[in-house]
């Protein structure tokens, strides 16, 4: 299995992308680097490594508009998507421009039959493991039918990762069926009819972290706000903990004793541990990571992509969508 990495994507590319790819290759991932050949060879030489390269002289920068990808077929993300379309690789991973990656996937691969809009799935740590939320920002405005499709794709993803009998919650401002905005009120009966016993009902924001339902669906605007809020809160909490543990000699002693436990907690909330988010609903395995990703995040993104391709994620999504009657 070969995975194409948009090696020019991200705030710190190609330095961290090449290093992360080398680490992943040592763990059994066959990585193809896509990007400026001269720059990539220089980075490989710096680490004394070697990986297959596909030259792409252009790149879509973070400040550029997503639709630029349509006019620039030699950009690294466009070339990577063409490799996937031709079957030369089985997945694409990018830490670059989220909008450009989504646009390239739609223009080049198209949508799974029955999917109106692809969705970004994001992961949150919870008391029961992980909670998978869709949409994480691909669709700011949604129709009720979109949420039903997001639910089906989220269940397919959870099952691909081995979750036993996952359920879907609809993000709202209250648990009762009659609470929520117009989108939630219209989506509730559709989800209930389509999913039956696999639909938990309404969930609130706190349920994301409690793990009340393995999959949570909402519009992309709300989902992205929830994601950024969680990331910001985690950073603030760890800053407060760090300050408290440095506030006195006794506190510093406690920090020394608790160092291992605190490191394990940090790893549970660190996005680098899963590396990238899948773009579900396109006809191919596409994964999008943070632009600020480090080499560890790149490595883990490639490992996650390999595991999910091997688990048949795309075919699971196709079957889940085909089984809907909405």
pLDDT digits (tens, 9 = 90+) for 236-289: 888 888 888 788 888 777 778 777 877 777 766 666 666 788 999 999 999 998
Kindly state whether residues 124 and 237 are assigned to the same domain: yes
Per cent of the chain over pLDDT 90 is 65
Q: What is the mean pLDDT of residues 138-159?
A: 94
In a domain, 323, yes or no: no
Q: How far apart are CA 88 and CA 75, in angstroms?
A: 17
Q: Retrieve residue 148's tokens.
A: 């039903």
For residue 189, the enclosing domain spans 120-245
pLDDT digits (tens, 9 = 90+) for 176-205: 888 889 999 999 999 999 999 999 999 999
Instruction: Give the containing element (helix H, strand E) for 188.
Output: helix 182-195
pLDDT digits (tens, 9 = 90+) for 101-143: 999 999 999 999 999 999 999 999 888 889 999 999 888 899 9
Q: How far apart are CA 307 and CA 281, in angstroms?
A: 18
pTM of the model: 0.88
Say what the pLDDT of residue 149 is.
96
In a domain, 11, yes or no: yes
Last residue of a domain, one of 206, 228, 245: 245
Last residue of a domain, one of 227, 245, 263: 245
Phi/psi of residue 166, each to 5°? Answer: -65, 155
In a domain, 325, yes or no: no
The number of distinct structural domains making up the chain is 2
Kindly state whether residues 125 and 202 are assigned to the same domain: yes
Burial pattern 102-125, b for ≥16 Cβ within 10 A else e, equals bbbbbebbeebebbebbbbbbbbb
In a domain, 135, yes or no: yes
pLDDT digits (tens, 9 = 90+) for 17-38: 999 999 999 999 999 999 999 9
Say what the pLDDT of residue 54 is.
95
Phi/psi of residue 324, each to 5°? Answer: -75, 150
In a domain, 130, yes or no: yes
In whole angstroms, what separates CA 114 from the centre of its chain? Answer: 22
CB distance 319 to 155 below 8 Å: no
CATH code of 154's domain: 3.40.718.10
Say what the pLDDT of residue 273 is.
67
Per cent of the chain over pLDDT 70 is 97
Please give the angle made by the CA atoms of 160, 170 and 271, to the nearest 5 degrees.
50
């Amino acid at each position: 299995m070969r995975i194409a990495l948009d090696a020019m994507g991200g705030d710190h590319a190609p330095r961290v992308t090449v290093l992360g790819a080398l680490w992943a290759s040592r763990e059994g991932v066959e990585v193809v680097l896509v990007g400026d050949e001269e720059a990539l060879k220089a980075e490989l030489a710096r680490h004394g490594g070697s990986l297959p390269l596909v030259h792409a002289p252009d790149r879509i920068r973070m400040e550029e508009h997503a639709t630029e990808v349509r006019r620039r077929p030699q950009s690294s993300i466009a070339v990577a998507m063409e490799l996937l379309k031709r079957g030369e690789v089985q997945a694409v991973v990018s830490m670059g421009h989220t909008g450009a990656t989504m646009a390239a996937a739609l223009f080049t691969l198209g949508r799974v039959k029955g999917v109106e809009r692809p969705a970004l799935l994001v992961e949150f740590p919870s008391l029961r493991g992980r909670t998978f939320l869709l949409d994480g920002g691909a669709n700011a405005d949604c129709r009720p039918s979109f949420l039903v499709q997001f639910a089906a794709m989220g269940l397919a993803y959870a099952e691909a990762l081995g979750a036993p009998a996952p359920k879907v919650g609809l993000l709202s401002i209250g648990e009762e069926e009659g609470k929520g905005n117009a989108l939630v009120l219209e989506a509730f009966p559709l989800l209930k009819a389509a999913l039956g016993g696999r639909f938990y009902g309404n969930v609130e924001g706190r349920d994301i972290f409690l793990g009340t339902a393995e999959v949570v669906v909402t519009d992309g605007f709300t989902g992205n706000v929830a994601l950024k809020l969680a990331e910001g809160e985690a950073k603030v909490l760890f800053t407060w903990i760090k300050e408290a543990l440095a506030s006195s000699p006794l506190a510093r002693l406690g920090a020394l004793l608790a160092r291992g436990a605190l490191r394990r907690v940090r790893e549970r909330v660190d996005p680098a541990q899963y590396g990238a988010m899948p773009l579900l609903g396109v006809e191919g395995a596409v994964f999008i990571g943070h632009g600020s990703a480090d080499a560890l995040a790149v490595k883990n993104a490639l490992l996650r992509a390999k595991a999910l391709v091997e688990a048949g994620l795309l075919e699971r999504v196709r079957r889940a969508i085909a089984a809907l009657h909405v």
